[in-house]
Chains A and B, each alone.
Chain A
């Protein structure tokens, strides 16, 4: 059976050129970048080259890039490192209510250390209002962390406006851009952020490759104490193949950015338009326009997410859902609830994320097999029967 993978937000495959770039560093070029001999120096140069490519992708300087092992690590590094380095100036931090768990749970850790947090709300599209940031600012506020784009609903946040507010008050701004970098143009200077997290496996790089951008001159405490790797801020022998792979992936992403975005948007908008035409009671989640180019998310009323996902999977399509049953924590998505979506509808969420190799035929196939699945599941759903009965009355 043909498999159609539409869960690229979870991970992308490696680009063949990325694999090729990495291979020598898994075999003959195995030197430790900190060694002074030429084998070590060869690895060190490769890392520097990758650092420059990653920097270019987001319009940063190579000295502003610190490699990490995952987007979650980069987020932890940013939040804990920046907050602890600036605690003398204050103890208050502002987050959005739709952040990734690696931000929300890092915040819980910092709460135990005596820091306080304000979570600003989002509208029905999952978008924050920069004015809300202004409203909760205090003399104690040292950091604002708001994601660039949300992975569950695709919405892009108005970060540049937040940056203006932060700049005028001399408050640090971090953004979790893991789902955005490599998939849409991201420019740290235009955004005006002081720190930004990104991950290589979101744009054809390997899992285990990620980076944190820290603007020159901004203080941050080391995340892993040890040797002098990553400027002493993140010690430990570098994962050279992963870093080299992410560098190559960044280079490819830069080259293809314009055509990638255009292609993704076309496919995305076609799916967004056609799915609700074929299936009644389907609600787009997230912003209809200001959203990740490769991201489509819906709530399909009266049907639970996991049962849709499994049915699609059995017919060859991989997708994602934010329902309680698919999250191992068995909680409905905090993002959908923050957007004011009720629990029943939040259980009915489904996310499709596309990539360059996704074809219009793939979308056609999805649209062919999906409506019968929903029809079958709705027949089985007491919520749908109840809806029909009430409608008759």
Chain B
């Protein structure tokens, strides 16, 4: 047999196979040209990987690697999970044939992509809430004059606003310092 017992065990009884409807992050790597496609779904709770599901089109090594990665990271923090590398997966599996090492690369990549996707989604959520907050603006930050609707200008002091790159609240387009958070706008 070209594979170790542990690889064969994970290949025969892969852990955590499936899809996830309400995943917090999803990562897809590979393509049929190289022979493998891996899709990872993660559920994150309190900065820890609460659950993993995967689907894999690929050889014995690809399936075993996916299964191993899923088992390695469940319960780990995001930071710990990002430490999982192709070498550590291959090592956990009791080694892989030389020409199958690219499969372990894919496994680590798919996981990292799912985490990245989770982090992107988190950022998006934060940005969305900041945006929602700044849309609530009703007063000019400089003269306290109420601002009509979504207009980007104070009618009284004729200041045109733009979003502060830091706190996303409205500030004078021509000013260098944000009146809300004190951030300095980079000069273009």
**Residues of A with C-beta under 8 A to B111:** none
Assembled-state Cα–Cα distance A382/B66 (Å): 13
Assembled-state Cα–Cα distance A100/B23 (Å): 47
Query: Does A79 touch B at the CB level, under 8 Å?
Result: no
Assembled-state Cα–Cα distance A342/B56 (Å): 19
Query: Does B140 touch A at the CB level, under 8 Å?
Result: no
Query: Does A325 touch B at the CB level, under 8 Å?
Result: yes
Residue of B nearest to A380 (CB): B17
Tell me which of B12, B37, B100 contacts A383 (CB under 8 A): B37
Contact between A307 and B60 (Cβ–Cβ < 8 Å)?
Answer: yes
Residue of B nearest to A379 (CB): B17
Query: Does A347 touch B at the CB level, under 8 Å?
Result: yes
Also in contact, A304 and B38, with CB within 8 A (given A310-B11, A328-B99, A380-B17): no
Interface string of A372-393 (1 = CB under 8 A from B): 0000000111111100000000
Query: Does B28 touch A at the CB level, under 8 Å?
Result: yes
Residues 1-58 (chain B) with a chain A CB within 8 angstroms: 11-12, 14, 17, 19, 28, 31-39, 55-58
Contact between A304 and B58 (Cβ–Cβ < 8 Å)?
Answer: yes
**Residues of B with C-beta under 8 A to A307:** 11, 58-60, 62-63
Query: Does A303 touch B at the CB level, under 8 Å?
Result: yes
Residue of A nearest to B98 (CB): A328
Separation in Å of the A318 CB from the closest CB of chain B?
A: 13
Assembled-state Cα–Cα distance A379/B100 (Å): 23
Contact between A304 and B59 (Cβ–Cβ < 8 Å)?
Answer: yes
Majority-rule SS of B interface residues: mixed
Contact between B32 and A382 (Cβ–Cβ < 8 Å)?
Answer: no
Query: Does A302 touch B at the CB level, under 8 Å?
Result: yes
Contact between A381 and B57 (Cβ–Cβ < 8 Å)?
Answer: yes
Separation in Å of the B110 CB from the closest CB of chain A?
A: 10
Contact between A310 and B57 (Cβ–Cβ < 8 Å)?
Answer: no
Tell me which of A303, A306, A344, A384 contacts B60 (CB under 8 A): A306
**Residues of A with C-beta under 8 A to B32:** 342-344, 347, 383
Assembled-state Cα–Cα distance A65/B35 (Å): 42
Tell me which of B35, B37, B63 contacts A330 (CB under 8 A): B35
Interface string of B76-116 (1 = CB under 8 A from A): 00000000000000000000000110100000000000000
Assembled-state Cα–Cα distance A346/B34 (Å): 11
Separation in Å of the A48 CB from the closest CB of chain B?
A: 43
Also in contact, A385 and B59, with CB within 8 A (given A304-B35, A332-B33): no
Also in contact, A382 and B37, with CB within 8 A (given A328-B99, A330-B99): yes
Query: Does A76 touch B at the CB level, under 8 Å?
Result: no
Contact between A343 and B33 (Cβ–Cβ < 8 Å)?
Answer: yes
Assembled-state Cα–Cα distance A280/B14 (Å): 24
5 contacts across the A-B interface (CB closer than 8 A): A304-B59, A325-B62, A379-B17, A382-B55, A384-B57
B residues at A contact (CB < 8 Å): 11-12, 14, 17, 19, 28, 31-39, 55-63, 99-100, 102
A residues at B contact (CB < 8 Å): 302-307, 310, 314, 323-326, 328, 330, 332, 342-344, 347, 379-385
| New A-B pairs, 7, CB < 8 Å, besides A310-B60, A382-B39 | A307-B60, A310-B11, A310-B59, A314-B12, A325-B62, A330-B102, A380-B17
